[in-house]
Amino acid sequence: MKILITGIAGFIGSHVAEYLQKQGHEVVGIDNFSDYYPVQLKKKNAATLRAKGIEILQADLREITAIEKLPKGIEYIFHFAAQPGIAATSTFEDYLTNNVIATQNLLSYALKLSSLQLFVNIGTSSIYGLNATFPETVVPKPASHYGVTKLAAEQLVLCSSRLNQLNACSLRLYSVYGSRERPDKLFTKLLDCGLNDKTFPLFEGSLSHLRSFTHVSDIVKGITSVIGKEAVCNGEIFNIGTEAEYTTQQGVDAVEKLLNTKITFEKLPPRSGDQQRTKADIGKARELLNYNPMVTLEEGVAEQLTWFRDL
């Protein structure tokens, strides 16, 4: 099968690309190598993929001309490319153009593919809002520009499905961590602080936040479980994450135990739009996709530590 992955040089996209290539699929990717976080990390991911024979195009989907570079004959699209997170350095225009305009441009390309079997939008639990503990049927209440624009992107994709223009689904991911995690994310930052005697920037109240910390390998299995289930998935939304729930403090404890050290904190004011609780309700994914996440927090953090030490 010929598969296109957008945002292929990023954290999750690069893992999905590797997995699908190992399964015998022909994988092609596109990435704009944004400087939202160090470009050299994405270039390192890209080099790993290219060494395995995966073609990567450097182009920006916010520009409609980018779709002219995309290949013909694509059967599956996994759309990861987005402006992530709720960083103060990201403007509303960043979220709008990367998450909405880029998605619409990609759809205009997808609609011309007679070979396309399924367009898989990669969404986020941030679509639900400050508390993400619900089944897919609940009305979303996003509380950040990130969540709002990711919901808009999701609806653009599902709109095309409702109009019978293409088969499409959306997967809402929960608190993903593991090797290649972005430097601004929790566990990479904790490992960096613990190993290099740095102070961790702690937003007020965040230690009590609850999260469905889900290892990237379990996320990859959930994402790729849609393949071959086009009729089941078309028009649907699935939560992908673990049902296990941890506080941020438990995440800190896991890193400190692994490193046999104590991490010091710099206390910061609360961050607007930060989710208070995420707990993946995966009953639908279990039933229809046979999704069953297995990796414990301790196992996942140990895997991430091995990767971090090799950076």
Q: What are phi and psi of 220, to 5 degrees?
A: -60, -45
Question: Could you give the CA distance from residue 162 to residue 225 in angstroms, rounded to a whole number?
Answer: 22
pTM passes above 0.95 = yes
Whether 185 and 42 map to the same domain: the answer is: no
Q: Which tens digit of pLDDT belongs to each residue from 111-165?
A: 999 999 999 999 999 999 999 999 999 999 999 999 999 999 999 999 999 999 9
Residue 178 near residue 19, CB atoms below 8 Å: no
Q: What is the pLDDT of residue 124?
A: 98
Closest CA to 16 of 223, 290, 260, 162: 223
pLDDT digits (tens, 9 = 90+) for 63-87: 999 999 999 999 999 999 999 988 8
Helix (H) or strand (E) holding 157: helix 145-162
Domain for residue 287, yes or no?
Answer: no
The verdict on 41 and 185 lying in the same domain is no
29, 55 in Cβ contact below 8 A?
A: yes
Assess whether 205 and 184 both reside in one domain.
yes
Residue 234 lies in a domain: yes
| Helix ranges restricted to H, 184-238 | 186-196, 216-224, 230-233
Per-residue pLDDT of 218-237, as tens digits, reads 999 999 999 999 999 999 99
List pLDDT tens digits, range 9-57.
999 999 999 999 999 999 999 999 999 999 999 999 999 999 999 999 9
Place of tokens 């993903």: 176
Q: For 252-280, how does the pLDDT look when each residue is reduced to its tens digit (9 = 90+)?
A: 999 999 999 999 999 999 888 889 999 99
Is 286 among the domain residues? no
* Residue 17: per-residue pLDDT: 98
- Domain extent, residue 194, equals 177-211+244-280+295-309
CA separation for the pair 235, 106 (Å, rounded): 18
Question: 136 and 187: one domain?
Answer: no
Residues known to be catalytic:
146
Residue/partner pairs of 41-46 with CB below 8 Å, 24 or more apart: 41/180, 41/183, 42/9, 42/10, 43/9, 45/9, 45/10, 45/14, 45/180, 46/8, 46/9, 46/14
Distance CA 154, CA 149 (A): 9
- Can you give the pLDDT at residue 85? 87
227 and 252 part of one domain: no
Q: For position 103, what pLDDT does the model report?
A: 98
65 with 104, same domain: the answer is yes
Q: What's the confidence (pLDDT) of residue 162?
A: 98
Structural domain count of the chain: 2
- Report the CATH number at residue 248: 3.90.25.10
Helix or strand run (H / E) with residue 215 = strand 214-215
Tell me what pLDDT residue 142 has. Answer: 97
Question: Tokens 């390309």 correspond to what residue?
Answer: 109
